[in-house]
Amino acid sequence: MSGSFLGVERSLTGRRWVGPPVETARAAEALAQQSGLPDAVAQVLARRGVTASEADAFLAPALRDLLPDPRSLKDMQSAATRILAALRAREKIAIFADYDVDGGASAALLIVWLRQVGQSATLYIPDRIDEGYGPNDAAMADLANTHDLIICVDCGTLSHGPIAAAEGADVLVLDHHLGAETLPPAYAVVNPNRQDESGDLAHLCAAGVVFLLLVEMGRQLRAAGQTGPDLMSLLDLVALATVADVAPLVGVNRAFVRQGLRVMARRDRVGLAALADVARMDTAPTAYHLGFLLGPRVNAGGRIGAADLGARLLAADDPHEAEALAERLDQLNTERREIEASVRAAALDQAESRGLDAPLVWAAGPGWHPGVVGIVASRLKDASGRPSIVIGLENRIGKGSGRSISGIDLGQPIQRLAREGLLLKGGGHKMAAGLTVAEDKLDAAMARLGELLAKQGAHLAGAADLKLDGLLMPAAATVELTEMIEQAGPFGAGAPAPRYVFADMAIRFAKRLGESHLKISFAAPGGPTLDGICFGAFDGPLGPALEAHGGAHFHLAGRLDINTWQGRQSVQLRLEDAAPAER
């Protein structure tokens, strides 16, 4: 094992600091020399495997260059043809969507597109508690009685029975969840994660699949001498879904998000504009805003309120309706946070008692709201660095959600448990999955899942490692440099934001904000100061240690942000960790 970065074997949060591999550092140095890019930017590109000849194209990803041929996905052409036939025949169309951001955005994409060609559609989103995830027999049969075509988005790949129950209607599935060996009896199943697909587009979320469908429909319309709606204006919805569904920000997903953020900044979509206002967004949108401000609010309806609120907001064309929906979702999100905090505390205590170093970290409890178990699973995953499952129990049945870590596939083993009979049902994709389990099989199912995850090496994950990209000085952390680093983004799943260390810093100012946050200013001896913010600092050891610094020097690790206040831009460090500097 190579030496730790700056010799930090155990930081204030208990982590070992790890710098970039020697090969990456050398590639970054060569890239900086050949391209003239700043070292900090070259480090990001080298980590992504970008060469000097590829740098310009990577920093300005063009959708036209990265967009795959929609027909590379099986059933795509026939799905598009079927929808266009429904339009010509004025058939009745229903959209059955999942209740999360990806499902809501996918439904909104279709609703908005259909509205622009003069066609309406019925929106149906199942209730999380009463109906659970995905199509069910009763809902599909009812929709089939009054509709000619049912389009399932972000769900349906494993729904053999419910799709068979939709007698008299054709069913299209537009999904990205892992498929089984057999497909449901649908007219078409478009899914990059079908078992007979190449996997080249496995990183797409459902909204990305729907967008490709709209591209194919536009192609078929043009071949018939007709013009379809402007698709570029829809990329704000694709960007939101891609980030909120934690899809890897690689390939075309990078272009979806980069272009989608530009579209969103125009505030043309009344639903997203209203949501940005209630979330008090006062700067141009970033991937952070999508994942942490807008996404959770869209999700709130499906978690603890009316399941269709998010999709209705995203598809809204009336500003007054949009404002009312945004206000309601904001209220529900506040309620969701309170419920989540209660479940998180209990789940973490339980998981810690089992040990956070197992291949699978899990917790289950009676009455835990099914709308927050996925969020809490994500918190456990962050705390442990291990795949995590959180399950709410009611009437001897557990409904849970899981989140995984990079390199560990959670969806496949959960599907395997369902086939083995240890789960009543289960599915998902590599990074996130859902399950239903009988309470009397809970321990056996979790033990078996732990075994399967251990075979993938989940127990070897470096939970205590903090990966770092390099060193910076406060004087180098300019707005211009930070903007150049942002060009290498967007950052998120599969493309983590670069994390830098400011070494041997003196704390010039430290102040607690609210109950748990910390604001600091720091500097090297004789140099300029840089501001930093550490959210949740007093939930752990960082806040107390830095607040009571006593003049000691620290190595400070985190990510650079541009802070905008009263029209003025400045750089701040989003502090994640610190270690005493040996002097």
Q: Which two tokens stand for residue 379?
A: 């918190």
Q: Is the pLDDT of residue 428 over 80?
A: yes
* Domain extent listing, the chain: 5-18+468-580, 20-57, 66-330, 355-460
Of 88-97, 359-368, 574-583, the range with the lowest mean pLDDT is 574-583
* CA–CA gap between residue 134 and residue 99 (Å, rounded): 9
Predicted pLDDT of residue 2: 56
- Contacts of 9-14 with C-beta under 8 Å, sequence gap 24+, read 10/464, 10/579, 11/466, 11/557, 11/577, 11/578, 11/579, 12/541, 12/542, 12/545, 12/577, 12/578, 12/579, 12/580, 13/466, 13/540, 13/541, 13/542, 13/577, 14/464
Rg (CA), the chain: 24
* CA–CA gap between residue 328 and residue 443 (Å, rounded): 39
Q: Is the pLDDT of residue 269 over 80?
A: yes
pLDDT tens digits for range 35-85: 999 999 999 999 999 999 999 999 999 999 999 999 999 999 999 999 999
* CA–CA gap between residue 185 and residue 152 (Å, rounded): 13
3-state helix, strand, coil in the chain (%, to 5): 45, 20, 35
What percentage of the chain has pLDDT greater than the value 70? 99
Confirm if 497 and 484 have CB atoms less than 8 A apart. Answer: no
The whole-chain average pLDDT of the chain stands at 94
pTM above 0.85, yes or no: yes
Q: Is the pLDDT of residue 334 over 50?
A: yes
pLDDT tens digits for range 388-405: 999 999 999 999 999 998
How far, rounded to the nearest angstrom, does the alpha carbon of residue 268 sit from its chain's CA centroid? 23
- The domain 5-18+468-580 is placed in CATH, from the list 3.40.640.10, 2.40.50.460, 1.10.10.10, 2.70.98.40, at 2.40.50.460
pLDDT tens digits for range 436-470: 999 999 999 999 999 999 999 888 765 458 899 99
How far, rounded to the nearest angstrom, does the alpha carbon of residue 558 sit from its chain's CA centroid? 20
Confirm if 195 and 170 have CB atoms less than 8 A apart. Answer: no
pLDDT tens digits for range 96-106: 999 999 999 99
The mean pLDDT of 267-276, rounded to a whole number, is 98
* CA–CA gap between residue 530 and residue 478 (Å, rounded): 10
Predicted pLDDT of residue 461: 64
Who wins on pLDDT, 305 or 552? 552
Q: Is the pLDDT of residue 31 over 80?
A: yes
> Residue 384's pLDDT band (boundaries 50, 70, 90)?
confident
Domain 355-460 fold: Diaminopimelate Epimerase; Chain A, domain 1 (3.10.310)
Closest to 263 (Cα-Cα) out of 290, 298, 292: 290
Is residue 393 within a helix (H) or strand (E), and if so which, with residue range?
strand 388-394
pLDDT tens digits for range 520-559: 999 998 899 999 999 989 988 999 999 999 999 999 999 9
Range ranked top by mean pLDDT from 49-63, 160-174, 242-256, 448-462: 160-174
Q: Is the pLDDT of residue 504 over 70?
A: yes
> Residue 568's pLDDT band (boundaries 50, 70, 90)?
confident
Count Cα atoms within 13 angstroms, Cβ side, for 212: 28
Q: Is the pLDDT of residue 1 over 50?
A: no
Overall CATH class of domain 66-330: alpha beta
Residue 425's DSSP bridge partners are: 436
